[in-house]
Amino acid sequence: MEPLDIANKIREKFPLDVADITGFRDQVFVSVKAERITDMCRYLYEDPDVSMNFLADLCGVDYPDRKFRFEVIYNLYSIKHNHRIILKALIPEDNPTVDSVVPIWNGANWHEREACDMYGIIFNGHPDLRRILMPDDWEGFPLRKDYPLKGKEGAEYRGFEELKELHTHDKEWNIS
Amino acid sequence: MKNNSEGLDNSESVRLATKELTLQLGPQHPATHGVLRIVLDLDGETIVKCTPYVGYLHRGVEKLAEHRNYLQIMPLTDRLDYISSMSNNIGYCEAVEKLFGIELTERTKFIRTIVGEMSRIANHLLWLATHALDIGAMTIFLYCFREREKILDLFERLCGARLTVSYPRVGGLKNDVDPQWLDDLYKFTAEFPMRVDQYETLINKNRIWLRRTKGIGVISAEEAINWGLSGPALRGSGVPYDIRKVMPYGAYDKVKWEVPVGKNGDIYDRYRVRMDEFRQSNSIIRQCIEILPEGPIMADAPKFILPAKDKVLTDMEHLIHHFVLITKGPQTAPEGEIYVATEVPKGELGFYFVSDGTGKPYRMRVRSPSFVHVSALPKLCEGELIADIIANIGSIDIVLGECDR
């Protein structure tokens, strides 16, 4: 199927949830409301003509000036039919939550954890939502646009809390 | 190794019951191929739960890229998968070229295919060497390094660097290849299939190797797709998904080659797939050298591409052009979003760009195969024996630089 046909199919099935359909080069992007994203993904996964069985990628994007600040990009590909469509779930800043698609694609697990780590987007129903690339006790969300590229001069990372506990005996063991 | 518990009768099993043990593997462990930390919950020797922890090599490549122009990001991509940096460079260039709408010259497409496949051979050689070493086959290690050294030497002669090559450029290549270099590469490809046969005689019928790999770490085709595996890890389960075939770039649609696939989805089949890829890559290189077309190597897109060096040294306008591009970078880019995937040795490497029309990417996302493969590690080794986790880590071929980005 051509990507545009798939996009129109989504619009037919979910007329109230599709906000916009755009194209660039030969790829088609469908902006959708975040509420029914799992229904939409399950439909694309199960429909035999579309059969999006491969979640190529899932990531977040931050647009601080827009009404919906975050977007979660679902890059869906069908190994059976060799076609691709990219869904963009629009997520507001005051309630950055979206349902998890891990029940559909297991591969979404770590991608969602990373989006949570980098943007602070909460994925409802995720089996194990923790920070993944940054340390557990990190503050802030590094890939947000208002997060600075470089930290303050002279500031040091205060270290893992669990490591600090390990170092409580340093003095008595004469380790500096 | 199969858990050989059938021989024990019930009363003896009860007596041998052990309490659960938590074992910490890594992050500094040679068999984890980098800085991967795994916490294992063990019941005797059986893995009950496996939890990988990553992020020790996180350098914020995606954040850095938002503050650099499109030409400056190239060296960052070298350091993603430092084993096969050439493939990463090509993947990045293909993505940016598609965003900019640059059409490559024929010669560039062929040379990129050649160096891309060389990088695949070098990567698989390192994979075979370390994977075999991990599970006890020590002899093959230095044989693989001998051939890998030859490829790295060729890289050095080509562009001056052995590992972090940064040889491709957006719209072309750093420099053209010279005939002597092509001759030497052709000589290498003539003897390389014989070397692959040698490796196979060392381990193909080795009983220990077979016991350690056959029927271990099995993942079915549907599960492999569902977990997002790609590259040899997916093809080992019998899915003929290769981006070079289904979405050809470079010169892959102009040469004859096949996609090797496995059947059982175990470690042994993933090994077989990579061994066959040696021969396919070798054949692709040979065909490309034979029909390498003449012509320029840089595409015609002066807004994004540096002028030729000899013109810069003699001509004022070209010097100004060069100066502006180097100091300021491209000033504009087409507005839009694009995802371009390429087949790197480890799997599907995708670059997703959001461009807002300025010379810097608004968002660069790297979809790295290693990240996805590590996430599937618990699926592969839960319920198996502790010794198999090392074989499993080797068989999915991960590099943590790419995983943590």
pLDDT digits (tens, 9 = 90+) for B99-137: 988 888 999 999 999 999 999 999 999 999 988 888 888
Domain boundaries, position A18: 3-169
User: Which H helix or E strand runs over B241?
Assistant: none
Number of alpha helices (DSSP H) and beta strands (DSSP E) in chain B = 18, 8
CA dist B397 and B387 (Å) reads 17
Determine, yes or no, domain membership for A158: yes
Q: Is A2 helix (H, G, I), strand (E, B) or coil?
A: coil
Determine, yes or no, domain membership for A48: yes
Domain count along chain A: 1
Helix H, strand E, coil C: the string for A30-42 is: EEEECCCHHHHHH
Helix H, strand E, coil C: the string for A96-157 is: CEEECCCCCCCCHHHHHHHHHHHHCCEEECCCCCCCCCCCCCCCCCCCCCCCCCCCCCCCCC
**Are β-strands B46-53 and B37-43 bridged in parallel, bridged antiparallel, or unpaired?**
antiparallel
pLDDT, tens digit, 9 for 90 and up, residues B71-103: 889 899 988 888 889 999 999 999 999 998 888
Give me the count of residues in chain A: 176
Residue B83 burial by Cβ neighbours in a 10 Å radius (0-12, 13-18, 19+): buried
Determine, yes or no, domain membership for A176: no
Number of alpha helices (DSSP H) and beta strands (DSSP E) in chain A = 4, 7
Among A73, A106, A114, beta carbon nearest to B227: A106
**Domain of residue A12, CATH code:** 3.30.460.80
**Could you tell me the sign of the dihedral formed by the alpha carbons of A129, A133, A139, A144, in that order?**
negative
Provide the 10 A C-beta neighbour count for residue B123: 26
Residue B118 burial by Cβ neighbours in a 10 Å radius (0-12, 13-18, 19+): buried
Interface residue A21 vs chain B (CB under 8 A): no
One-letter amino acid for residue B11 of the chain: S
pLDDT in tens, chain A (176 residues): 788 888 888 888 888 888 888 888 888 899 888 888 888 888 888 888 888 889 989 999 999 988 888 999 999 999 888 888 999 999 998 888 899 999 999 889 999 999 998 998 999 888 888 888 888 878 788 888 888 888 766 666 666 666 666 666 666 666 55
CA dist A74 and A55 (Å) reads 7
- Write down the mean pLDDT value for chain B: 87
Residue A148's alpha-carbon distances to A68, A122, A140, A151, B352, in angstroms, are 21, 22, 10, 7, 22
What pTM was computed for the model? 0.87
* Domain regions of chain B by residue span: 10-53, 61-404
- CA-based nearest residue in chain A for residue B334: A24
**Could you tell me the sign of the dihedral formed by the alpha carbons of B228, A5, B95, B291, in that order?**
positive
Interface residue A73 vs chain B (CB under 8 A): yes
CA dist B189 and B280 (Å) reads 11
Q: CB–CB of B225 and A135 under 8 A?
A: no
Q: CB–CB of A57 and B101 under 8 A?
A: no
Residue B335's alpha-carbon distances to A23, B83, B111, B133, B294, in angstroms, are 11, 33, 30, 49, 34
Q: CB–CB of A133 and B55 under 8 A?
A: yes
Contacts of A51 in chain B (CB under 8 A): none
User: Which H helix or E strand runs over B300?
Assistant: none
CA dist B270 and B346 (Å) reads 11
As a CATH number, domain B61-404 is 1.10.645.10
Residue B74 distance to chain A (closest CA, Å): 19
Contacts of A109 in chain B (CB under 8 A): 375
So what's the pLDDT on residue A8? 83
> DSSP secondary structure string, B8-73?
S-HHHHHHH----EEEEE-SSBGGGTBS-EEEEEEETTEEEEEEEE--TT---HHHHHTTS-TTTS
The reply to whether ipTM tops 0.95 is: no
Four-CA torsion A2, A36, A56, A118, nearest 10 degrees: 140
